[in-house]
Structures are given as C-alpha cells and as structure tokens.
Amino acid sequence: MKSISFFPVAPVFLASLFILGSCTVIRPGQVGMKQQLGVLSDKTRTQGVVWYVPFISKVVKTNLQIQDIELSISLPSKEGLSVTSQISILYKVNRVKAPALVRNVGLEYRGIISNVFRSASADICAQYLAKDMHSGKRSDIEKAILARMNEVLSSQGIDITAVLMKSIQLPVGLASSIEQKLQAEQEAMRMEFVLKSEKLEAERKIIEANGTRDAQKILSEGLTDNILKLRSIEAFTELAKSPNAKVVVTDGRTPYLIKD
C-alpha cells in the first residue's frame, strides 16, 4: 500500500507572510526612510517597493504633497484692535530635509506650523492698521507672514508656499466707519464727475457761441453795397422768370414781394 505524502503547507505559508511583511510600497507624493534598530537613515526613497527586515527595522513614510491648514484666529492691529480672520496655510515637506524633520520634530508637525504662524502673524499684523488688513495691503501682510514663517520652518524641512487671509472681520464700529468713508469717497468722485461734465458743457457752449459770433461777423463784413446790389439783381431775375403776375414795391436796392 502506497503512503500518501502531504505538501508542507505551513512552512510555505510562514515564508509568504515573512516576504509580505518585509516590504512596503511608497506611493506617489510620499517619501520613505528606513529606520533600523532605532536609527533613521538619511537616504530617502520615493515611489516603489522598499524591502526591510522585520522586527529590527521599518520604513517611516511622510507626505510630500502640498497640504493645507485652516485656522480661525484673532489678529492684533497697530491701534490695539482685534481682527478676526480665516487663514489658510499651504505647506509641503522638503524631500531632502525629510529625515531631519522626522528625527527632530516627528510626524506630528502640523502643530508646530500653527504655533509659528500665530507668532509670526502677531508680530506682522501689529505693524498695520486694522483697515489695512481689509484693503490692498492684505497681500503685503500675507507675504510678510510667509517670509517670517519660512525663516523658522525652512531649516526644519517645512516649506510654506502660501499664507492666505481668506476673510477679514473687522470690529463693528470700525467696519461701519470704513463703509461710511467709502460711501463719502464715492459721492465725492460722483460730484467731481458731474462738475467736470458741466465744465465741459459750458466750454462747449462758449465755443459754439464764439463760432456763431465769428460767422455773423464774417457774414456782415462780406455784405458790401456791391454784394447787396448783385443779390438784388439776382432776386429780380428770379421773379422775372415766374409766369405769375406780381406787384413789387422796391426802393431800387432790395425787392419786396407784396401780392401775386
């Protein structure tokens, strides 16, 4: 009788688990760093399969894509007012400096970005009036905060790409004052336009009157006795051509038509 031999399933299964547990996949937009016996490697790996030895090593991954932090914060102004703003901070991890970031800060670095922003925004906004944050100077404030944050975070491996002040809520009294000022400026601009239009109309009428006066002057200067006699002859000639009977009274210079 033949003996039945069984395929050793257990060793193959364990080997499969070992192989699958010895690799990880670095996806697009990520960076991976091997950590062996607690020591993090400075070599970074992107997009692909990374092999490591379980139990003594692992692969630490972090995101390289641009990320967003949303904050609602009260900003101080130069005159001591508090301006509420909705802030969006765009940042990304520097791939080359990623090992230093993980080693010095760890993977939970969003809190550090928020704290640095609060400090930088307080210093910068205190140099501007509250109305400046609601006007065209908002872009200057955003750029100044961005530069101040990068001074602190760039060396740590975090690059701030943009600071966006998406909404500004001024104190009620100040907002009303600014609105009244804008309305007054618009009314002044409207009145300036009306006055300029009336001035142009007056200049047009003066030019028109001067033109009429000059035309009459030229015409009167051209009506000499000889011209009047010539016009009179032409008028008599035209009357003579008419077949109708007419009674004409004249002083010898100008004809006057009285009756057909």
Over the stretch 117-134, which tens digit does the pLDDT of each residue have? 999 998 998 898 877 877
In order of 23, 92, 115, 117, the CA distances from 63 in angstroms are: 19, 8, 20, 20
CA 36 to chain centre: 48
Residue 108 phi/psi, 5° resolution? Answer: -95, 75
What is the DSSP-derived secondary structure letter of residue 130? G
Q: Per residue in 193-245, pLDDT tens?
A: 888 888 888 888 888 888 787 777 776 666 666 666 666 777 767 766 777 66
Least confident of 52-66, 94-108, 234-248: 234-248
Domains of the chain, start order = 9-62 (no CATH), 67-173 (3.30.479.30), 225-259 (no CATH)
Complete DSSP assignment for 222-259: H--HHHHHHHHHHHHHHHHT--S--EEEE-SSSEEEEE
**How would you class 141 by CB atoms within 10 Å of its CB: exposed for 0-12, middle for 13-18, buried for 19 or more?**
buried
pTM of the entire predicted model: 0.57
